[in-house]
């Protein structure tokens, strides 16, 4: 990806699944990358060990940590640090507001003061669109019927981005781009109570346990491979026309949960099948598929990794890292 060579770039949440892959891609593009992560939901080994990657352990809520890293005047900021995700926010709403709300505000403030050219904010594919969006959902469809604090604070982050981009308190506007990843999966995500369905499915399948499905299994999502998501982030950071805009980053496919479970069981040789469990109170969206027309038109984005290929890579990563993953998985 052009546009990042010899640039100094901050990636918050750079030890996470998307953040680690994004950091690796930026380093390979010739950027000097500063990763800021408090390791509250990730591990040090998730950060690429490349000579042009530097790690600063700390929270985006910590003003002193941010002051120190932004003193180096980055050209770009990719803000992925967050309290993830829906159930975690239900259990810990104040922490969710602190990290996702105040943390985002402080990152934007420091980015503006340091003269950063652009901030790319990782929003969410579930936050802006409500419980019953059209299919496929376009970026212009916004709803306020949120069902978790996480959805509320991701919307708050988007609103702060709009504010800073347009007219932040008399200062010169800060170029911001909001990206909305849909159901990212792939190497790098350690399973756990608050993690996504695919890493949890792979974990249980490799242990020979039945895969728990909330609901009927006919629920659908736009599962999108992490490498494609990272490509979208890079394009959002580089495209001049992206400033002030929001983009869906998604596969564009509508895939049933039961089909994902069957594919993972097949790939891992798991004969335990599936089991059905009660749906969580906030989990009201039965079907979800995203339009990527705008991202394709403005960014040149297109997801290229099919589900079976992405799942195969994910299972291979689990097998390679099994001892570390098993030691750190928390349910």
Which residues participate in catalysis according to the annotation? 150
What are the CA-CA distances from residue 273 to residues 35, 179, 267, 280, 315 (Å)?
Answer: 40, 35, 12, 21, 17
Cα distance between residue 149 and residue 70, in whole Å: 29
Task: Record the tokens describing residue 165, joined without a space.
Answer: 């981009």
DSSP secondary structure letter of residue 59 = -
Tokens 């998985």: give the residue.
329
Task: Record the tokens describing residue 169, joined without a space.
Answer: 């308190």
Those residues whose C-beta lies under 8 Å from the C-beta of residue 41, and which sit 6 or more positions away, are: 16, 83, 84, 192, 194
Cα distance between residue 155 and residue 170, in whole Å: 23
> In terms of DSSP bridges, do strands 274-277 and 211-214 run parallel, antiparallel, or are they unpaired?
parallel
């Amino acid at each position: 990806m052009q546009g990042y060579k010899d640039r100094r770039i901050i990636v918050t949440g750079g030890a996470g699944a998307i953040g680690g892959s994004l950091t690796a891609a930026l380093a390979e593009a010739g950027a000097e990358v500063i990763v800021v992560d408090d390791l509250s939901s990730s591990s040090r080994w998730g950060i690429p060990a490349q000579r042009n990657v530097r790690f600063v352990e700390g929270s985006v809520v910590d003003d002193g940590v941010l002051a120190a890293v932004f003193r180096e005047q980055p050209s770009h900021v990719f803000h992925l640090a967050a309290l993830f995700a829906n159930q975690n926010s239900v259990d810990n709403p104040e922490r969710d507001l602190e990290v996702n709300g105040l943390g985002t505000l402080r990152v934007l403030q420091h980015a503006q003061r340091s003269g950063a050219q652009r901030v790319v904010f990782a929003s969410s594919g579930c936050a802006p669109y409500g419980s019953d969006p059209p299919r496929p959902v376009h970026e212009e469809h916004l709803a306020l019927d949120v069902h978790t604090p996480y959805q509320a604070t991701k919307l708050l982050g988007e609103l702060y981005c709009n504010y800073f981009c347009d007219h932040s308190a008399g200062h010169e506007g800060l170029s911001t781009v909001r990206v909305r990843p849909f159901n990212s999966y792939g190497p790098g995500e350690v399973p756990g109570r608050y993690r996504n369905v695919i890493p949890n499915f792979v974990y249980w399948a490799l242990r020979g346990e039945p895969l728990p499905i909330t609901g009927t299994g006919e629920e659908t999502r736009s599962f999108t491979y992490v490498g494609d998501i990272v490509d979208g982030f890079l394009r959002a950071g580089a495209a001049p026309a992206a400033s002030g805009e929001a983009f869906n980053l998604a596969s564009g496919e509508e895939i049933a949960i039961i089909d994902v479970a069957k594919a993972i069981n097949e790939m891992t040789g798991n004969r335990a099948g599936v089991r059905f469990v009660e749906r969580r109170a906030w989990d009201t969206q039965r079907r979800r598929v995203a339009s990527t027309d705008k991202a394709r038109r403005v960014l040149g984005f297109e997801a290229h990794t099919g589900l079976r290929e992405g799942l195969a890579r994910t299972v291979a990563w689990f097998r390679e890292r099994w001892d570390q993953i098993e030691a750190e998985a928390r349910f």
